[in-house]
């Protein structure tokens, strides 16, 4: 059974950001993804609201970049469907349809999928006129005519957002009144380009290469009509992918995992990031932010585990040719840093490895610091080639005098 410090369930922007940050903290980290990297993001043809891409970027390409960025620091990507989780105590055990794994910290990043109308050809028209996120895709329909389906807060918020961008917005609801809260009523009345279509449901898209309109059925009379539009925004809610975690962590009435801005759940060592957790805004950038935050609290958690499981009063830092290492009072080796000689007085830092049960992050940092001190005393030059050493050099400008 493979053992990891951290296992991340779900390879979307939240999952890969969490994995990247954990790996850079020298935690042995694995991503476990059911289908493909990126999750919902990978199905988006154009992402225009993620910073750093002035021409936008294809969602699939952004997914691959996130995956490669994490793997650059040692993250392992595995694929499989999780069938069971044993989350109480340590270690936590995850069983898939093909393998079993253990970890000390578990990050849930399984996301949430928009609910569909199950229209004919709905999936193939996604990105060609059918959309599920106004803030993500609204600008593609600037000065065009769109329809929003739904009657709750999400649908009304989408309609109001699109009314500032689009020439005309139709808000379609199968009942004769909205389910949205009263705070939305005044802004709706003030929006001159929003028109309500009551007691109606979409039954079929009309399209060529792109969506050109929709067929509507009146829920009271059964009459069918046609509405010309350039875009159809389906806003009937999302379904979080949390079935597997019922009875393991606390879940709210909508199905989302209850976790605050620390991303910590009610179970020690389990964290929820991205669209799967309770939060006010679900975007790529907020998902990535969750991943970074989770890693910080996981580092703290490992420090607690160290103090709880191993009452080590002292560690001995020693060196020998081409190696620095750490021993407990019982002579158990809990960390090492390897050097590879190149030319006279020049060494490559090739590896920093630690046992995270003994405050591994602190040990790794101290190994690099002591190697830098030895380089100064012996007039060595160092080349930090392993990822952790590179990160430490980036964090500590005062180490730069030892660079080759």
Could you tell me the two tokens for 63? 């997914």
Kindly report the CATH number assigned to the domain that includes residue 193.
3.50.50.60
Query: E strands, 221-373, where?
Result: 224-228, 231-234, 238-240, 270-272, 316-320, 323-327, 333-341, 346-354
**Active-site position among 5, 22, 103, 137:** 137
Contact, 25 vs 2, CB < 8 A?
no
Q: Partners of 395 in the beta sheet?
A: none
Cα 223 to chain center, whole Å?
Answer: 44
Between vectors from CA 267 to CA 264 and to CA 272, what angle results, nearest 5°?
40
Residues 49, 128, single domain; the answer is no
CA distance 204 to 227: 11
* Domain range enclosing 385: 316-402
Residues 199, 248, single domain; the answer is no
Q: Is residue 136 flagged as an active site residue?
A: yes
Residues 246, 152, single domain; the answer is no
Q: Tens place of pLDDT for every residue, the chain, 404 residues?
A: 788 999 999 999 999 999 999 999 888 999 999 877 877 787 666 788 889 998 889 888 999 999 999 999 999 999 999 999 998 888 899 999 889 999 999 999 999 888 899 999 999 999 899 999 888 889 999 999 999 999 988 899 899 999 999 999 999 999 999 888 888 888 898 999 999 999 999 999 999 999 999 999 999 999 999 999 999 999 998 889 999 999 999 999 989 999 999 999 999 999 999 999 999 888 899 999 999 999 999 988 886 766 544 444 567 878 888 888 888 766 777 889 999 999 888 999 999 988 766 667 788 888 999 999 999 999 999 999 998 999 999 999 999 999 98
CA distance 93 to 260: 24
Residues 279, 348, single domain; the answer is no
Query: E strands, 34-135, where?
Result: 76-79, 82-86, 92-96, 100-108, 112-114, 130-131
Residues 229, 170, single domain; the answer is yes
Q: Where is the domain boundary, 264, 290, 309?
A: 309
pTM over 0.75: no
Name the nearest CA neighbour of 368 among 396, 328, 340, 345: 396
Q: Is residue 103 flagged as an active site residue?
A: no
pLDDT reported for residue 364: 87
**Active-site position among 22, 103, 133, 306:** 133
Residues 289, 342, single domain; the answer is no
pLDDT reported for residue 311: 45
pLDDT reported for residue 235: 92
Chain segment 218-227, per-residue pLDDT in tens: 999 999 999 9
Residues 101, 134, single domain; the answer is no
Residues 211, 261, single domain; the answer is no
pLDDT reported for residue 361: 79
Q: Where is the domain boundary, 234, 258, 278?
A: 234
Residue 376's CB: how many other CB atoms inside 10 A? 12
Residues 11, 66, single domain; the answer is yes
Residues 222, 247, single domain; the answer is no
CA distance 183 to 394: 49
CA distance 328 to 42: 47
Residues 131, 97, single domain; the answer is no
Residue 237's CB: how many other CB atoms inside 10 A? 15
DSSP string, 275-299: GGB--S---HHHHHHHHHHHHHHHH
Kindly report the CATH number assigned to the domain that includes residue 322.
3.40.630.30
How many domains does the chain contain in total? 3
Could you tell me the two tokens for 140? 């593609």
Residues 143, 216, single domain; the answer is yes
**Active-site position among 22, 136, 166, 386:** 136
Name the nearest CA neighbour of 42 among 57, 62, 56: 62
Q: Is residue 229 flagged as an active site residue?
A: no
């Amino acid at each position: 059974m493979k053992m990891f410090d951290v296992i991340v369930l779900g390879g979307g922007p939240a999952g890969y950001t969490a994995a990247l940050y954990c790996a850079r903290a020298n935690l042995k980290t694995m991503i476990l993804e059911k289908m493909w990297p990126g999750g919902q993001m990978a199905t988006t043809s154009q992402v225009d609201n993620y910073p750093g891409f002035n021409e936008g970027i294809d969602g699939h390409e952004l997914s691959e970049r996130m995956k490669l960025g994490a793997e650059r620091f040692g993250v392992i990507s595995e694929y499989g469907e999780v069938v069971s989780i044993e989350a109480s105590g340590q270690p936590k055990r995850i069983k898939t349809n093909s393998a079993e794994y253990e970890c000390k910290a578990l990050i849930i990043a399984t996301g949430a999928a928009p609910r569909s109308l199950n229209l004919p050809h709905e999936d193939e028209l996604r990105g060609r006129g059918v959309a599920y996120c106004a803030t993500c895709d609204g600008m593609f329909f600037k000065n065009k005519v769109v329809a929003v389906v739904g009657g709750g807060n999400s649908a009304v918020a989408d309609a109001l957002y699109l009314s500032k961008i689009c020439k005309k917005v139709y808000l379609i609801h199968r009942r004769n009144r909205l389910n949205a809260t009263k705070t939305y009523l005044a802004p709706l009345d003030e929006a001159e380009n929003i028109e309500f279509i009551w007691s109606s449901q979409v039954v079929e898209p009309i399209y060529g290469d792109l969506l050109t309109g929709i067929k509507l059925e009146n829920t009271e009379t059964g009459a069918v009509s046609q509405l010309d539009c350039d875009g159809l925004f389906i806003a009937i809610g999302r379904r979080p992918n949390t079935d597997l975690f019922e009875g393991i962590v606390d879940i709210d009435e909508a199905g989302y995992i209850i976790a605050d801005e620390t991303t910590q759940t009610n179970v020690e060592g389990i964290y929820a990031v991205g669209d799967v957790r309770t939060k006010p805004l679900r975007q790529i950038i907020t998902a990535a932010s969750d991943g970074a935050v989770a890693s910080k609290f996981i580092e703290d958690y490992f420090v607690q585990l160290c103090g709880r499981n191993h009452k080590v009063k002292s560690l001995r830092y020693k060196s020998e040719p081409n190696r620095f290492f750490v021993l407990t009072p019982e002579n158990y080796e809990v960390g090492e840093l390897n050097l590879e000689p190149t030319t006279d007085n020049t060494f490559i830092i090739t590896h920093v490895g630690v046992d995270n049960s003994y405050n591994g992050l602190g040990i790794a940092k101290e190994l690099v610091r002591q190697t830098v001190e030895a380089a100064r005393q012996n007039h060595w030059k160092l080349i930090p080639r392993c990822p952790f050493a590179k990160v430490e050099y980036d964090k500590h400008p005062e180490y730069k005098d030892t660079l080759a």
